[in-house]
Amino acid sequence: MNIYQPHLMTINKVIQETPDIKTFQLVFQDEEMREKFSFKAGQFAEYSAFGHGESTFCIASSPTRMDHIECCFRSVGKNTAGLFGLNEGDTLGFRGPYGNIFPLDKFKGKDLIFIGGGIALPPLRSVIWNILDQQEDFGHVSIVYGARTVEDLVYKRELDEWEQMPNVTVVKTVDPGGETPEWQGHVGFVPHILENDFAPSPDNAIAIICGPPIMIKFTFEALDRLGFKKNQLITTLENRMKCGLGKCGRCNIGSTYVCLDGPVFWAEELAKLPKEY
């Protein structure tokens, strides 16, 4: 068997999230794959537009909802532009799932604070829905989400849905200058809003962070000042990948392969790695 051979998937639905971000709802064309495929929140896959290449995206849907899987991606280069041009009914290639998972057993009974920036909400969305579908096992859920502008916020419909749910707090923010006259959320960078306006308690809490490296750095620092310890902070890294299988040596930080040992890491694990991420 060729480990690089993708499975074929049909795009059942396309959702235009922002001018350059789309969500695809996907189903396997092979009936056996439809029945046997499984994954856990935090894992990623390689998605190919034929003739363009492959890209790594997280699986953005929840393992508690297996009628289809979803990815959400920004068009930034060759392959993502190829994928962006596909329509409902078209076929793409899929390899996965790969990588480690969010340790939901360690989240049980805790208050959970999800903190995401921009296109980094999709990896969190998988675990958010996973937890909200089993809400009785977890404490309060907070979702702090920021984007450059109101137009750049993804999953707007789900942010509204989460806001209406019991035991869930949603804090939305856009960068200064990114607001519109109708904007009802906060204005300011995520770490600033987190520390000054929201200020979550570290008691019996875990913060799950995903975003660009600079946002992760400043968010870790803000949470540290709020009293969170490194074993209360978990993140998922987006180092560039190619094979996803530990073979090409493209994603490593020192001797750690993000595709095999991650992409999910506790802050205390990251603190031991060379400062390359």
Ligand X SMILES: Cc1cc2nc3c(=O)[nH]c(=O)nc-3n(C[C@H](O)[C@H](O)[C@H](O)COP(=O)(O)OP(=O)(O)OC[C@H]3O[C@@H](n4cnc5c(N)ncnc54)[C@H](O)[C@@H]3O)c2cc1C
Q: Give the residue, chosen from 240, 249, 272, 275, that forms a contact with ligand X under the rule CB under 6 A.
A: 240
Count of residues near ligand FES by CB under 6 A: 12
Residue 73 near which of ligand FES, ligand X, none (CB within 5-8 Å, type-dependent): ligand X
Q: Give the residue, chosen from 17, 152, 195, 238, that forms a contact with ligand X under the rule CB under 6 A.
A: 238
Cα dihedral across residues 276, 266, 246, 71: positive or negative: negative
Contacts (CB under 6 A) with ligand X, residues 75-104 = 76-80
Q: Which of 114, 109, 105, 135 is nearest to 200 (CA)?
A: 114
Q: Give the residue, chosen from 56, 61, 130, 232, that forms a contact with ligand X under the rule CB under 6 A.
A: 56
**Upper half-sphere CA count for residue 68 (Cβ side, 13 Å):** 14
Q: Which of 236, 257, 248 is nearest to 59 (CA)?
A: 236
Q: Are 144 and 115 in contact (CB under 8 A)?
A: yes
Nearer to ligand X, 72 or 128 (CB): 72
- DSSP per-residue string spanning 59-81: --S-TT-TTSEEEEEE--SHHHH
Residue 213 in the binding site for ligand X (CB under 6 A): no
Q: Give the residue, chosen from 42, 97, 185, 263, that forms a contact with ligand X under the rule CB under 6 A.
A: 263
Interatomic CA distance for residues 58 and 42, integer angstroms: 7
Q: Give the residue, chosen from 251, 253, 267, 270, that forms a contact with ligand FES under the rule CB under 6 A.
A: 251
Binding mask 210-249 for ligand FES (x = CB under 6 A): -------------------------------xxxx-xxxx
Q: Mention every residue, 6+ apart, whose C-beta is less than 8 A from residue 135.
A: 141, 167
Q: Angle at CA 120, nearest 5°, toward 161 and 261? A: 125
Q: Are 71 and 23 in contact (CB under 8 A)?
A: yes
Q: Give the residue, chosen from 24, 28, 39, 44, that forms a contact with ligand X under the rule CB under 6 A.
A: 44
Question: 183 phi and psi, to 5 degrees?
Answer: -60, 125
Residue 254 in the binding site for ligand FES (CB under 6 A): no
Residue 114 in the binding site for ligand X (CB under 6 A): no
**H/E segment holding residue 174:** strand 168-174
Residue 53 in the binding site for ligand FES (CB under 6 A): no
Nearer to ligand X, 200 or 262 (CB): 262
User: Closest separation between CB of residue 261 and ligand X, Å?
Assistant: 12
Q: Are 236 and 211 in contact (CB under 8 A)?
A: no
Residue 45 in the binding site for ligand FES (CB under 6 A): no
Count of residues near ligand X by CB under 6 A: 21
Residue 62 in the binding site for ligand X (CB under 6 A): no
**H/E segment holding residue 15:** strand 7-18
Question: 137 phi and psi, to 5 degrees?
Answer: -85, -10
Residue 122 near which of ligand X, ligand FES, none (CB within 5-8 Å, type-dependent): ligand X
User: Closest separation between CB of residue 110 and ligand FES, Å?
Assistant: 30
Give residue 257's Cα distance to chain centre: 19
- Residues forming the site for ligand FES (CB under 6 A): 241-244, 246-251, 257, 259
Binding site for ligand X (CB under 6 A): 44, 53, 55-58, 72-74, 76-80, 119, 122, 238-241, 263
